[in-house]
Amino acid sequence: MNQSELIDWFGVTRLGGVPLSNLLWGLLAACIAYLVLTTALRFAVSRAGKVAQHTATRIDDFLVNVLAGTNRWLILVASVLIGVGVLDLPDRWHSRVEHLWFLALAVQMGLWMNRAVQAGLAAYHQRHTAGSANPQQVSAAGTLMAWGASTLVWAVVLLSILANLGVNITAFVASLGVGGIAIALAVQNILGDLFASVSIAVDKPFEVGDFIVIGSTAGTVERIGLKTTRIRSLQGEQIVMSNTELLKQTINNYKRLQTRRIVFTFGITYDATPEQAEQVPGIVQRIVQASDRLKFDRAHFKGFGESSLDYEVVYIVQDPGFNVYMDEQQRINLALMRELAGIGVQFAFPTRTLIVQGPVPIDMPVSDGPAAGGRGASSALN
């Protein structure tokens, strides 16, 4: 068979209704497309990686990580579809090729989105576990978020593919919605605690080791779980609180306290002279400023109480320790006692002054006549 006969044979011979010559052109186009796509992907990843090494931002690292997740089998499928596009196929194959294109692109988009979610959560986990006292809680919250995000991504991809294939997904989505509502109502308390745990991990209102006060509960956080948080109270017992109920209340976190603003009052007796009362604020200021751990704010003669001349003092404790504050307050109190005694001023205490008035004498008239109401009675008064 000479060359012309061979060419005629390829043109005449058909496979599945497509000439062999056309199939060869399609195969050649698919091979070229695969080489071009893989080379372009390799160049893009390499170039982006080099750029990422010279920048401080994490966005380019994130893009490199996502591009590296491109599936080679899907590239092969795309190359085959490019080759199929060269073929002279019957009209009924066009819609099927379009569906295959959408399927390949949707799956690849799902892989990219899923890889982006994983990369983002990995960065979040690395950033928060570095200084966290409870890495298990951060890891559990990250796992929960990763599972939820991946489920959402692939659910969207699956519904998009079904819709492209002509499946009516309205009833399917509605049934999923009804079923999801029923499941959510059945486990709403558990889901509420799980999402509350995620909120605690992300927002970090407190961490393990923090001393917190919630309502009448005060103690040190020992463990933050997916459903409950355990607190060791000052009395020694362990208090287990639901994460949902915990976040519904106002939380006072004393671990993050840096300074304390202290306001205290005292009173002196009313027998103090104006000159003595005027000296008291200066004495208080001198006592407070004697310590490097305190910052004086103000001291004033506040007003007249029921049994005392009242003063109000405000100062700042530069150390967050409660024992430091109590030691300084004790020092101030003792110094005040000594200083006020030195100027002859006494601390006031609740007193009541009773003024008792003696009996009032009554001048009664003396009459020689008969007493009123007593006929014939003697009214002489000796």
Residues 337, 221 share a domain: no
Residues 160, 33 share a domain: yes
Residues 102, 223 share a domain: no
Residues 235, 203 share a domain: yes
Give the residue numbers spanning the domain of 67: 14-166
Q: Residue 327 maps to which CATH number?
A: 3.30.70.100
Q: Is residue 4 part of a domain?
A: no
Is the separation of the CB atoms in 228 and 164 below 8 Å? no
* Tens digit of each residue's pLDDT (9 = 90 or more) over 351-363: 777 777 766 566 6
Strand-pair partners of 61: none
Residues 234, 293 share a domain: no
Q: Is residue 51 part of a domain?
A: yes
Q: Is residue 381 part of a domain?
A: no
Residues 159, 272 share a domain: no
> Which of 223, 255, 287 is where one domain is finished?
255
Tell me how many degrees the CA angle 202-207-211 measures, rounded to the nearest 5.
145
Residues 91, 138 share a domain: yes
Number of domains in the chain: 3
Residues 111, 85 share a domain: yes
Q: Is residue 264 part of a domain?
A: yes
* Tens digit of each residue's pLDDT (9 = 90 or more) over 195-249: 787 788 778 888 888 889 998 889 999 988 878 899 999 888 999 998 888 888 8
Residues 36, 139 share a domain: yes
Distance CA 277, CA 344 (A): 11
Q: What is the mean pLDDT of each run of 10 residues along the chain (382 residues)?
A: 51 56 76 87 80 70 76 83 74 75 86 82 66 55 70 83 77 65 63 77 83 89 86 90 88 87 94 94 95 94 93 94 93 96 91 72 56 42 36
Residues 129, 160 share a domain: yes
Residues 247, 299 share a domain: no
Distance CA 246, CA 159 (A): 38
Which ranges constitute the DSSP H helices of the chain?
3-12, 20-53, 59-67, 72-86, 92-129, 135-164, 170-186, 188-203, 243-247, 274-289, 322-342
Q: Is residue 378 part of a domain?
A: no
How confident is the model at residue 178, as a pLDDT? 63
How confident is the model at residue 184, as a pLDDT? 60
Provide the residue count of the chain.
382
Q: Is residue 145 part of a domain?
A: yes
